[in-house]
Chain A
Amino acid sequence: MGGGGGGGDGEPEFQIAPMIDVLLVLLIFFMSITSAQVLSIDKEIVLPVAKDAKKKEKNVMNEAALNVRWTNGKAAILFENNTYDNVEPLVEKLRGRHDSNPKYRVVIRGDKRLPAIEVQRVMSVVAQAGIDDISFSALNKE
């Protein structure tokens, strides 16, 4: 950044260069905060709110996201952009992932309007795949 001129013995001048430096640092700080928190979830899913839940771990390699939509009174399970009406292929897929990576975990991103029975169905799918580490996704605010 270019330097501004000093005043010598006279009155101190307003230094523009340090101000620009500070501004740019602040700008980068706020940009990084907002961009790091952008959600990458299914837009058709309205997540429930849990203000006191823990911040999500950033470990995409070890986790699968099961999106559970609730449209027209019917639940649909999505995994990697594929809808699974029959859960058997999904169980096999998840089991394969878990066999190759024992730390594999599942994040259930369910719509807040889902009935509890559908949530249990998804948990049953995860349990059948032999995965015990699960978490329920929620938002920090409405």
Chain B
Amino acid sequence: MSAHGRKKPREIEQEQVAVGFQIAPMIDVVFVIMLFFMVMVGSVKVERELKSQLPGLAPPSDSAPQEMPDEIIVGVEETGAVTLNEEEFDTGRQDKALPTFIDTLKRLKQEADNRNAKVIVTIQAEEQATYERVIDVLNALSVAKIANVTFTVGSDAGF
């Protein structure tokens, strides 16, 4: 062993104190944190809202339609069945998307728009029908861009 191979105690102490900024571990950590947030973005639940207007205080519309409004009655039953003018659509509770129902609503809206008429939808939910199914129907109405919605439960006058 030569004299160069040995370090004096003072030199060893200096090396231990003066540790330089390690860039590689920092990049590793930043990568891991970034991957975590990237994965989280995909699974984050966001709160959405379905707006509605209660009657009574709403200002009257300036542009009154030329024709009588088309009234559609949508029923929501306890079993989850959704009816449109007493015709059942998308049977089965699992089908949240209600594709046939949405298509029919879109068609009715288009026809009403062509005649410059308003579409008014009345949701008649049974008392024990679930709120989830009512939201499914409101979601379908929002897809069909129908804004005039009345909500009734049972035989009550409703909103």
Contact = CB atoms under 8 A, between A and B. Distances in A.
Contacts of A140: 45-48
B129 interface: yes
Nearest to A63: B49
Interface in B29-52: 30-31, 33-34, 37-38, 40-41, 44-52
B47 A23 contact: no
A49 B54 CA distance: 22
Interface stretch (B10-18, B84-92, B130-138): B130-138
A66 interface: no
Contacts of B106: none
Interface string A119-142: 110011011001111111111110
Interface stretch (B60-68, B110-118, B148-156): B148-156
Contacts of B37: 27, 30-31, 33-34
A50 B139 contact: yes
Contact of A53 (B23, B34, B58, B139): B139
Interface residues of A, number: 54
Interface in A51-73: 51-57
Contact of B131 (A24, A34, A48): A48
A116 B48 contact: no
B34 A127 contact: no
A16 B41 contact: no
B2 to A, nearest CB: 33
Interface in A9-24: 16, 19-20, 23-24
Contact of A52 (B51, B54, B142, B153): B142
A115 B49 contact: no
A106 B34 CA distance: 37
Contacts of A120: 151-153, 156, 158-159
A77 interface: no
B41 A33 contact: yes
Given A116-B76, A138-B135, A107 B55 contact: no
Interface string A31-43: 1011001110100
Given A49-B96, A119-B134, A132-B57, 16 more contacts: A30-B34, A34-B44, A41-B47, A50-B136, A54-B50, A56-B47, A107-B49, A112-B135, A119-B153, A123-B151, A127-B159, A132-B54, A132-B55, A135-B50, A135-B52, A138-B49
Interface of A: 16, 19-20, 23-24, 26-27, 30-31, 33-34, 37-39, 41, 47-57, 107, 110-120, 123-124, 126-127, 130-141
